Structure 1
Amino acid sequence: MALSALLSATAPAAAEPVLRIAMTAADIPTTTGLPNNGFEGMRFLGYPVFEGLVLWDIARTDRASALRPGLAERWEQAPDDAKTWIFHLRQGVRFHDGTAFDADAVIWNLDRFFRPDSPQYEPPAAGISRARAPLLASYRKIDPRTVAITSREPVAYFPYMVVYLLFTSPASFEAAGRDWARVATLPAAGTGPFRIARVQPREMVELARNGEYWDEAHRAQVEKVRLMPIPEANARIAALRAGQVDWIEAPAPDAIPSLRQAGFTVTTGSYPHIWPWLYNIGATGSPLKDVRVRQALNYCIDRDALVTLLNGTAEPAFGWLKRSDPNFGSPQNRYRLDPAKGRALLAEAGFGAGKPLTLRLMVSASGSGQMQPLPMNEFLQENLKQTCDVDVAIDVVEWQVLLNAMRATPDAPALRGATVLNISSTTSDVAVMARYFGSANIAPKGFNFAQWTDAGFDTAMADAARAPDSEAMDAAMRAGHERLVDDPPWLYVVHDLNPRAMSPRVKGYVSPESWFVDLTRISVP
């Protein structure tokens, strides 16, 4: 959205009892009940409006977010079948349109995601859901308040997949004439603390407080939230300074000192997230098939200098997890800036001054968790040329195009010849680890874009799936992470610190150790 259009379309702050948020997305996330635009879509148009059987506990700031009961008040593995989980649904929950949430609504939504012959099947939402819950095999209604969901194999961390399956009122689909395109503007009804009040494609979505929200302790303080896509960082800052928005995602790092001096609040906080390059190992003739090349790149980049460029809003990444994480493990490779080691590994793989390594990198101009992708990638482009004589060509695309490319096969036209993608990732739990790196989840089936296979890693994930307790699961995660470092499918660059800037009128915000935020605590005058 152009800044001039934003300024003309938005009234002065004094007349607006609304929390106005500038997202990094180039368009509003989809509003049918399972948003696109990555986890920024889930952050603002996912959990605040549409909920799952399981939810994230985002009330804590002193530890990484864990799971909590959502539309299911409890769940357990079936005593006679380790592959089946029984979910006991919460009583008295209603969708925003007044219809009841019950087992029939659960089955209807699961058919929407997993049954292509159902009238309500929604291919875009199905693609996202299948990739996030790749082990789901079947489901059935036990009674009006109970459903069973079965995975393809026993998996102890299955609830960490279920948390991403969100539920929409079946009545929304019927009211729209069974047309998902019309559902998007009806708007659709969820069960969350906010309901969608108004949709203007490419401009904004307005949320209104759900005064009948089932969880009285988490009913929203603010009456309305307006979400606006403003993909360019300087435009977001200008809108904040002009009083046209109250909250911006990912402020440009060089503007942070002046924002603080002007009285704006700039928040940062550690959370489970990484900003990497994803190697296209599976592409025909890819130089990244050689593990020495993948390791070399991890020794060739100057992470500390990049953190300085970002004004301290990130920390160096030496693996998928932070080095301080108890599950980082003890890998053989301890990555750091070491050009001599990087060049030696490249030379062993057949690359050097006479035959430099050449990569084609696909990036977005903005997007969920992408921080400042253009200056960051331009820094890495120059850095790799200087340290290890690596040539990187940058191809800039829109954020959703990049996300779609991540689910493509290695030589697909959608990749436009890319050997590397820059897409950030949550690192919240072992289910995400398995989803991104397990050989069973190779794209386009799942999120393993790299087409990476490692027997040691797969063994560790199998151990995690059978883990009898949290200690055993942590041990399996450590073993798996050691393989991710020593046989890297990604270039590990930085873990960002989730910076955002806010007007002083925003009260009650807390920064949980999560990708997601609790909008219900926030108030504005």
Structure 2
Amino acid sequence: MGAAVALASAMLSPSLASAESVLRVAMTLGDIPAWTGQPDQGYEGYRFVGFNLHDGLINWDLTRADEEASLRPGLATKWEVDPKDHRRWLITLRQGVKFHDGCDLTPEVVSWNFQRLIDKTARGFDPAQFARMRTRASNIDHVEPLGADQVAIYTKAPDSFTPFSLTNFLMISRCALEKANWDYNVYAKAPAGTGPYKFDKVVPHERLELVKNENYWDKDRIPKHDRLVLLPMPEATTRTAALLSGQVDFIEAPSPDTIPRLESAGMVVVTNTYPHNWTYQVNMVDPPFNDIKIRQAANHAVNREDVAALLSGTGAPGYAMLPPSSRYYGNPIKYNFDPAQATALLKEAGCYPCEITVAMSTAGSGQMQPLAMNELVKSQLEAVGFKVNFNVMDWSALHDISLKGREAFPDIDAINVSRAPMEPYNGVLGFVMKSRFAPNGPNWGWFSTDEIDALGKKAMETFDEEQRDAMITEIHELTVAQAPMIYIAHDLNPRAMSPKVKGFVQAQSWFQDLTPIAIEP
């Protein structure tokens, strides 16, 4: 830990801090997210790199702490489905936007940005970025420029949730990539998005430095600090030590047992509910979890109140895929802690003891406190008759498993990957429809029923929001009854920061806006 803090100190010299206002952030990630377009390492990659260097056609409104984040115009000022063809979306682009290299945002550049992520023959196609976007892009057919300020996005099937998906397609400068001879390794030395920060420099595996974009198109979101320094620090104790010693200003996911110490030292700790679940997503095809009795047993074995107590106010009990604050929560069945019932179900299913292998990470985006939490859940499962084996790995490896699906990893019975049910398409339908079986979506365990699949398809074709919301709520209730996940906890998104950090608003979202932050001397 001391070595890590010393490294941070060496990286962030006093002369740098005194010359300009600098916000130094310790991420939970083990490495710097990719900065050449679509980031890797899950939503933390989007939170700190993707959405700071780039914009989508549609952005998230992260200005409020008292309600779930909603959509707001980004590089598009207007979007609507073609009333004559529900596979066609008409997108009106914002005028006068320039990339960081000075090139213009045009309909042709927007069309190319989609093609480079869906068409293997397109100039600038990148297999890595294609893989990261596969779950979002699977229903995009093609994009056509229309005149001076519009594009038409064609989907393979009607999809009323398309605006949510568009938040994840990040626009990069075609000029800059062409100048790099279409080589992303060269482009990485001078990437150009349209976001509120511009790339300055990187030390691989150590830090990424961004500077504010004085010419950002959204004048309200020009950063109130000069420089943003992003540091990967996967160990919670290292992040805490770095904050206490003044080496960083802002840390993700402080360990619950360090919060009293942080607060007594004058640090500010913030939490807020947001769309998050911390579960075991199980293999629904192969034994033992293809038997609903085994899935029910596991859910009755978990003492969620004890898990929440372990988290000391930084997490809440998780009884369903969505948190109760979600507009789609409804009235799902509740799996109360009942160890006797859990044991009876295992014996009834003929799996006692019932051996399972769970893939987990040591840290990562939204993973909370995975080591301590998994050890507690293991003890609870084993108390009723399970035998739990952990396959422990870093976050990037686990995220790769989650993308490829259960078929590619037959020796793994469940994965502990936190999920982001921020919106219906990926956050709910993504886990319950056959068309979203990984690698085509986040449905790692290949869960579906004919009833849920039909209702999901109907929701995608329903453009009346109230009717569609009712369908998503029903899908959530039907899904929880089938227990395709072992429901455990919901994160309350803890962060800690120096008292010098002013202006931060903790949004009810996986994503956060750092631009309002000012650093007091």
Q: One fold, TM greater than 0.5?
A: yes
Q: Could you list the runs of 5+ residues in structure 1 that have no partner in the other structure?
A: none
The question of 1:427 aligning with 2:421 is answered: yes
CA deviation vs aligned residue, 1:175-203 (integer Å, no higher than 9, x gap): 2222112222x131110111111111101
Q: Distance in 2 between matches of 1:341 and 1:94?
A: 61
CA deviation vs aligned residue, 1:202-225 (integer Å, no higher than 9, x gap): 011111000000111221111110
Which residue is equivalent to 2:119?
115
Describe the shift of the 1:18–1:469 C-alpha distance in structure 2 as closer, same or farther (beyond 3 A). same
Partner of 2:502, secondary structure, is coil
Which residue is equivalent to 1:240?
243
Q: Distance in 2 between matches of 1:111 and 1:325?
A: 34
| Contact 1:104/1:144 (8 A) holds in 2 | no
TM-score, normalised to structure 2, is 0.96
Q: Distance in 1 between matches of 2:476 and 2:40?
A: 28
Q: Distance in 2 between matches of 1:253 and 1:378?
A: 16
Describe the shift of the 1:373–1:207 C-alpha distance in structure 2 as closer, same or farther (beyond 3 A). same
Number of aligned residues: 515
The question of 1:176 aligning with 2:172 is answered: no
**Offset at residue 324 of structure 1 (A):** 4.5
Q: Distance in 2 between matches of 1:131 and 1:304?
A: 33
Q: Pick one of 447, 455, 459 that aligns with 2:454.
A: 459
Which residue is equivalent to 1:43?
47
The question of 1:213 aligning with 2:202 is answered: no
User: Map of 1:126-141 to 2, 5 A cutoff?
Assistant: 126-141=130-145
Identity of aligned residues (%): 38
* Counterpart AA for 1:493: I
User: Map of 1:74-89 to 2, 5 A cutoff?
Assistant: 74-89=78-93
Q: Distance in 1 between matches of 2:314 and 2:511?
A: 18
The question of 1:330 aligning with 2:324 is answered: no
Partner of 1:379, secondary structure, is helix
Which residue is equivalent to 1:275?
278
User: Map of 1:388-467 to 2, 5 A cutoff?
Assistant: 388-412=384-408, 415=409, 417-432=411-426, 433-467=428-462
Partner of 1:22, secondary structure, is strand
Partner of 2:80, secondary structure, is strand
| Contact 1:204/1:227 (8 A) holds in 2 | yes
CA deviation vs aligned residue, 1:327-371 (integer Å, no higher than 9, x gap): 22233x31121112212222221122xxx1111111111110111
| Contact 1:31/1:187 (8 A) holds in 2 | no
Q: Pick one of 24, 27, 31 that aligns with 2:31.
A: 27
Q: Distance in 2 between matches of 1:236 and 1:194?
A: 24
Worse overlay, 2-11 or 137-146: 2-11
Q: Pick one of 497, 500, 503 that aligns with 2:498.
A: 503
**Offset at residue 411 of structure 1 (A):** 4.1
Q: Pick one of 454, 466, 472 that aligns with 1:471.
A: 466
| Contact 1:29/1:37 (8 A) holds in 2 | yes
Which residue is equivalent to 2:194?
191
Partner of 2:501, secondary structure, is coil
The question of 1:3 aligning with 2:30 is answered: no
Partner of 2:53, secondary structure, is coil
Q: Distance in 2 between matches of 1:324 and 1:175?
A: 48
Which residue is equivalent to 1:254?
257
* Counterpart AA for 1:339: P
Partner of 2:141, secondary structure, is strand
* Counterpart AA for 1:177: N
**Offset at residue 480 of structure 1 (A):** 0.4
| Contact 2:405/2:443 (8 A) holds in 1 | no
Q: Distance in 2 between matches of 1:269 and 1:188?
A: 33
**Offset at residue 243 of structure 1 (A):** 0.3
Q: Distance in 2 between matches of 1:407 and 1:486?
A: 25
| Contact 1:319/1:484 (8 A) holds in 2 | no
| Contact 2:277/2:321 (8 A) holds in 1 | yes
Partner of 1:288, secondary structure, is coil
RMSD, matched Cα: 1.5
TM-score, normalised to structure 1, is 0.95
Describe the shift of the 1:291–1:151 C-alpha distance in structure 2 as closer, same or farther (beyond 3 A). same
| Contact 1:209/1:224 (8 A) holds in 2 | yes
Describe the shift of the 1:89–1:324 C-alpha distance in structure 2 as closer, same or farther (beyond 3 A). closer
**Offset at residue 151 of structure 1 (A):** 1.2
Q: Distance in 2 between matches of 1:85 and 1:14?
A: 46
Q: Distance in 2 between matches of 1:461 and 1:479?
A: 10
**Offset at residue 80 of structure 1 (A):** 1.6
Which residue is equivalent to 1:299?
300
CA deviation vs aligned residue, 1:287-314 (integer Å, no higher than 9, x gap): 1111111121111101111111111111
* Counterpart AA for 1:456: E
Q: Distance in 1 between matches of 2:8 and 2:387?
A: 39
| Contact 1:133/1:162 (8 A) holds in 2 | no
| Contact 2:24/2:231 (8 A) holds in 1 | yes
Q: Pick one of 482, 495, 517 that aligns with 1:522.
A: 517
Q: Distance in 2 between matches of 1:37 and 1:183?
A: 20
Q: Distance in 1 between matches of 2:217 and 2:331?
A: 45
| Contact 1:279/1:419 (8 A) holds in 2 | yes
**Offset at residue 393 of structure 1 (A):** 0.8
